[in-house]
A and B are shown apart, each in its own frame.
Chain A
Amino acid sequence: MAVETKTAPVLRCQHLGIQFGGLKAVDDFNLEIGESELVGLIGPNGAGKTTTLRTITGLEKAASGSIVFDGHDLTKITPSKIITLKLAYVPEGRHIFPQMTVAENLEMGTYADKAGMAGTMEDVYARFPRLSERRRQLAGTLSGGEQQMLAVGRALMAKPKMILMDEPSMGLSPLLVQEIFDIIQEVNRAGITVLLVEQNAKMALSISNRAYVLETGTISIEGSAAELMDDPRVKKAYLGQ
């Protein structure tokens, strides 16, 4: 059942345990992602998906286990240093800086490393023409879809090796969801490893190479996206078939 990763893992979580106010939120979580892979992490609301991502990026503390990214032990690094390792996180609910302009938001993406900013900014604008039109507008006045694009764009500014995406489809219309997923695929094709957390399992599996199912804090199923789409349990619980 376990799938061999093609290359050396970029991100590896081993026996990760997370406590939340004395309760076990995530228990014995194991995950391995190879270079340039697009891996989905699906599961119901409250399974611990966001908590896991927040722990990987150091916003929450791990109770046990290890998280290794590109040879660095993430449990021992202050959260503000994570980005300097070229690991970017696009959090759930977008988290842009509402009172800064679009351009300033993108600029903040390179806060930790200013080198080569100008070129990257043009790349981002080329990928998101709509942001380019609104570069002087305050980010708080953008629509939900535009804010999501801005959040992805800001993450790209740091030229990351890997992006963690948390619920990019949340609160967006089906048309925009398609657009965002196209962008994620494009980003991945450009060589950036992606871990995609989604409640929208169908969409997530349609673009992922592999996927994990997280249920009540533990990985219950893992495999290639095709395998999971055929798995009767996944079909029943997440694909509505």
Chain B
Amino acid sequence: MAASLFVQGLINGLNQGAIYALIALGYTMVYGIIRMINFAHGDFIMIGAYTLFYTIPLMVNAGMPAWMAVIIAIVVCALVGVLVEILAYKPVRKAGSMSALITALAMSIFLENLAMVLFGAKPHNVQAIFQLPTVRVGSVSLPLNVLLTIAIGLLIMLGMQFFVKKTNLGKAMRAVPQDKDASTLVGINVDRIITLTFAIGSGLAAVAALMYCSTYPRVTNDMGSMMGMKAFIAAVLGGIGVIPGAMLGGILVGLIEIFVKLFAPGWYEAVTYGTLIVILLVKPSGILGKNLGEKV
């Protein structure tokens, strides 16, 4: 009995963790390139979820598979991400980290309230995307869409890691934060790479939205800030700016959440934040982060 409870927790934790990991990836990529906490990133998921809410019925009516809606969601999210970057973040980039932080906070408030004005404060139910059965192994129930979520998460992580390590654009994305002038001199258009990073990070938020909705099919205008915060913790825990760190951090936060909920339901957030504090004090660069020391 205890063992099956544990396995069940493990599966749910991994499911939750894979979603956080994907969101954390967006935070990590943006922080990695411009050293800015993009507080609005969580809200990109909300945008992705609303897009799914409106496009899934369209897809179904047109006789196409429901998951195709995610392509539209990716495009919408990437577009919003790029717009936010160009209109709000780029102009304040030289003004220092305080301005960047406040602008990001403001964009988050803006998107949440814009969504409330446009879609109302009532939650919407997203139509199911995958109709997958639940398999029972002993007393453990194993919804196959959870497995799918974990698999998609892993696949995207590996894909991103490959992209950043092996492709020309990926290398440029790594080069820019290391030395902007040197990047320009070897022919990298720094502004374009930053915009591209935002597009990819925000596009991934749409995938995260898909995965989230397949587990919890509810959309609200403030869903992004809650999840965003946890995913952000995940990114910092694993080592912000490091892609495998986002994966590790996400899964860690997911597991902590599910297991603490089993024993002390009211305290899971405190434990998550507590872990974050301990890690930051012991190793500010996160578990997998390289210790470079904060540049002043």
Cβ–Cβ contact A91 & B189, under 8 A: no
- Which of A57, A84, A99, A113 counts the most B-chain CB atoms under 10 A from its CB? A99
Q: Please judge, given known A-B contacts A88-B185, A95-B181, whether A80 and B171 are in contact too, CB under 8 Å.
A: no
Instruction: Report chain A residues within 8 Å CB of B181.
Output: 59, 91, 95
A95-B182 contact in complex given A100-B175, A107-B171, A108-B175, C-beta closer than 8 Å: yes
Pick the contact of A57: B172, B185, B189 (CB < 8 A).
Answer: B185
Residue contact A97 to B182, C-beta cutoff 8 Å: yes
**B264 CB–A CB distance under 8 Å:** no
Q: Which of chain A's residues has its CB closest to B177's CB? A: A99
- Cβ of A100: which chain B residues have Cβ within 8 Å of it? 171, 174-175, 178
A98 touching B178, Cβ below 8 Å: yes
> Which parts of A101-117 form the interface with B (CB within 8 Å)?
104, 107-109, 111-114
CA–CA, A113 and B187, complex, Å: 9
Interface residues of B in 164-181 (CB under 8 A from A): 168, 171-172, 174-175, 178-179, 181
Known contacts A99-B290, A111-B168; decide if A89 and B185 are in contact (CB<8 Å). yes
B178 near A80 with CB under 8 A, answer no
Q: How close is B292's CB to chain A, nearest CB, in angstroms? A: 8
In the complex the two chains form, what is the Cα distance from A108 to B190 in whole Å? 14
Residue of B whose beta carbon sits closest to that of A87: B185
Which chain A residues lie closer than 8 Å to B185 at the CB level?
A: 57, 59, 79, 82-83, 88-89, 91, 95
What residues of chain B lie closer than 8 Å to A107, measured between beta carbons?
Answer: 171
Secondary structure at chain B's binding surface: helix, strand, loop or mixed?
A: helix
CA distance A112 to B181 in the complex (A): 15
Q: Is the CB of A59 within 8 A of B184?
A: yes
| Complex-state Cα separation, A104 to B166, whole angstroms | 10
B175 adjacent to A80 (CB under 8 Å): no
Q: A96 an interface residue at 8 Å Cβ cutoff?
A: yes
B178 and A99 form a contact (CB under 8 A): yes
Interface centre among A57, A78, A97 (most CB of B within 10 A): A97
Give the total of B residues in contact with A, Cβ under 8 Å: 17
Interface residues in B218-258 (C-beta closer than 8 Å to A): none
Q: Contact between B190 and A80 (Cβ–Cβ < 8 Å)? A: yes
Q: Is the CB of B187 within 8 A of A111?
A: yes
Q: In the complex, which residues of chain A have a beta carbon less than 8 angstroms from the beta carbon of B187? A: 80-84, 111-113, 158
Query: How distant is the Cα of A59 from the Cα of B178 in the complex, in angstroms?
Result: 17
Instruction: Provide the main secondary structure of the chain A interface.
Output: loop
- The reply to whether B174 and A96 contact each other, CB–CB distance below 8 Å, is no
Least Cβ–Cβ distance between B243 and chain A, in angstroms: 13
- Interface membership of chain B positions 275-296, coded 1 if the CB is closer than 8 angstroms to chain A and 0 otherwise: 0000000000000001000000
Contact with B along A113-127 (1 / 0, CB 8 A): 110000000000000
A12 within 8 A of B: no
What residues of A have a CB within 8 angstroms of the CB of B62 in the complex?
A: none
Q: A residues within 8 A CB of B171?
A: 100, 104, 107-108, 111
Interface size class of A (residues with CB under 8 A): 20 to 34
Whether, in the assembled complex, B137 has its beta carbon less than 8 Å from a beta carbon of chain A, the answer is: no
- Name the B residues within 8 Å of A98 (CB-CB): 178-179
Cα-based distance from A98 to B172 in the complex (angstroms): 14
- Establish whether residues B189 and A158, one from each chain, have CB atoms under 8 Å apart when the complex forms: no
Q: Are A80 and B182 in contact (CB under 8 A)?
A: no
B interface footprint on A173-208 (CB within 8 Å = 1, 0 otherwise): 000000000000000000000000000000000000
A49 on the interface (CB 8 Å rule)? no
Interchain nearest-CB distance for B290 vs A (Å): 7
In the complex the two chains form, what is the Cα distance from A111 to B190 in whole Å? 13
Q: Which residues of B contact A82 (CB under 8 A)?
A: 185, 187
Q: How far is the CA of A2 from the CA of B280 in the complex (A)?
A: 63
Bound CA span A128–B190, Å:
29
Give Cα distance in the complex from A112 to B186, angstroms: 7
A78 adjacent to B172 (CB under 8 Å):
no
Q: Is the beta-carbon distance between A97 and B178 smaller than 8 angstroms?
A: yes
23 A-B pairs within 8 Å (CB atoms) are namely A57-B185, A59-B181, A59-B185, A80-B187, A80-B190, A84-B187, A91-B182, A91-B185, A95-B181, A95-B185, A97-B175, A97-B178, A99-B290, A100-B171, A100-B175, A109-B186, A111-B172, A111-B186, A111-B187, A111-B188, A113-B187, A154-B186, A158-B187
**Interfacial residues, chain A to chain B (CB-CB below 8 A):** 57, 59, 78-84, 88-89, 91, 95-100, 104, 107-109, 111-114, 154, 158
